[in-house]
Amino acid sequence: MASSSILPNLFLMISCLLPCVCFSTDTLKQGQSLNSTLTIVSANGVFELGFFSRGQPQKIYLGIWYKKIPTQTVVWTANREYPIRSLSCSLSINREGNLVISDGRGVSLSFTTIAHTNSNTSATLLNSGNLILRDNMGNTNSDVYMWQSFDYPTDTLLPGMKLGYNTSTGHVMSLTSWTTSEDPSPGVFSLSLNSVSELVLNNTKVAGPKGYWNREVSSFFIDFRPSDIFEFVYFDDQYSKYLSYRLYNMSISSRLVVDSSGKVKQFIMMPEGWSLFWEQPRPSCQVYALCGSYSSCNDKLIPNCNCLRGFQPNSLREWRQQVWSAGCVRNAPLQCGSKDRSLPIKNVKLPVNPTFVDASNADQCELECLKNCSCNAYAYSISRGCSLWKGDLVGVEQLESGGYDLFLRVAAAELEKINGDSRNNTTSSLSGTSDTREKVLIIALPIFSSVLIFGFFMYCLWRKKLKQRGKREIGLDLLSFDFSTKTNAVNGELSDKNKNASGEKWEAELPFFNFSSISTATDNFSDANKLGQGGFGLVYKGKLLNGQEVAIKRLSRGSKQGLEELKNEATLIAKLQHRNLVRLLGCCIEDEEKILIYEYMPNKSLDFFIFDHRNKTILDWEKRIFIIEGIAQGLLYLHQHSRLRIIHRDLKASNILLDNQMKAKISDFGMARIFGGNELQGNTGRVVGTYGYMSPEYVMEGLFSIKSDVFSFGVLLIEILSSKRNTGYHIADSLTLLEHAWKLWNNQRGHELIDSTLLDPSSVLKALRCVNVALLCVQELACDRPTMSEVVTMLSNEETTLPSPKQPAFCTRSSIEKSSSLNKLAVPSTNYVTITSINGR
Instruction: List residues forming the annotated binding site for ATP.
Output: 553
Is 259 a catalytic site residue?
Answer: no
Closest CA to 261 of 327, 186, 322, 175: 322
Distance between CA atoms of 713 and 796, rounded to whole angstroms? 16
Distance between CA atoms of 148 and 125, rounded to whole angstroms? 10
Distance between CA atoms of 726 and 652, rounded to whole angstroms? 10
Quick check: helix, strand or coil at residue 458? helix
Distance between CA atoms of 594 and 537, rounded to whole angstroms? 10
Distance between CA atoms of 272 and 69, rounded to whole angstroms? 11
Catalytic residue among 340, 650, 709, 755: 650
Closest CA to 296 of 259, 344, 351, 341: 351
Q: Which residues are annotated as a binding site?
A: 553
Phi first, then psi: what are they for 424, rounded to 5°?
Answer: -60, -40
User: Do 637 and 580 contact (CB within 8 A), yes or no?
Assistant: yes
Distance between CA atoms of 495 and 498, rounded to whole angstroms? 5
Q: In what order do the strands lie in the sheet with 156-157?
A: 156-157, 254-258, 264-270, 273-280
DSSP type of residue 581: B
Identify whether 184 is preceded by a cis peptide bond (ω within 30 of 0). no
For 90, other C-beta atoms within 10 Å of its C-beta total 19
Phi first, then psi: what are they for 734, rounded to 5°?
Answer: -95, 150
- Long-range contacts made by residues 21-26, C-beta under 8 angstroms, separation at least 24? 22/48, 26/124, 26/125, 26/126
- Give a three-class secondary structure readout of 125-191: ECCCCCEEEEECCCCCCCCCCCEEHHHCCCCEECCCCCEEEECCCCCEECEEEEEECCEEEEEEEEE
Q: Which residues contact 230 (CB under 8 A, 6 or more apart)?
A: 159, 245, 246, 247, 248, 254
| Residues involved in catalysis | 650
